[in-house]
């Protein structure tokens, strides 16, 4: 929350199978609320969460609440407010 760039960030060099984000409020981050870059994960899930007012620092460059950049894995979004 209130990060200059990304609230929750998974780098393209991360080596993890899965990310689960549950029951969180992610807000007021400069570029993205959640950013997953490259094929660093096989799957990510976001459940019962809210993403508000993210991406205000550079809103015209594809930034915002949830970003999956060059990502080819599975995504589940369930009961998510953006």
pLDDT in tens, 22-70: 999 999 999 999 999 999 899 999 999 999 999 887 656 778 999 999 9
| pTM metric for this prediction | 0.90
- Whole-number pLDDT of residue 60: 60
More confident residue, 78 or 56: 78
pLDDT for 4: 85
Residue 9 makes CB contacts below 8 A (sequence gap 6+) with 32, 34, 35, 37
| Per-residue pLDDT, 59 | 58
Q: In a 3-state reduction of DSSP, which class is residue 58? A: helix
């Amino acid at each position: 929350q209130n990060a200059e760039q990304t609230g929750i960030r998974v780098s393209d060099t991360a080596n993890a199978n899965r990310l689960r984000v549950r029951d969180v409020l992610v807000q007021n981050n400069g570029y993205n609320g959640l950013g997953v870059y490259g094929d660093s994960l096989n799957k990510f899930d976001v459940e019962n969460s809210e993403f508000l007012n993210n991406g205000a620092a550079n809103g015209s460059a594809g930034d915002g609440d949830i970003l999956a950049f060059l990502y080819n894995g599975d995504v589940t979004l369930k009961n998510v407010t953006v």
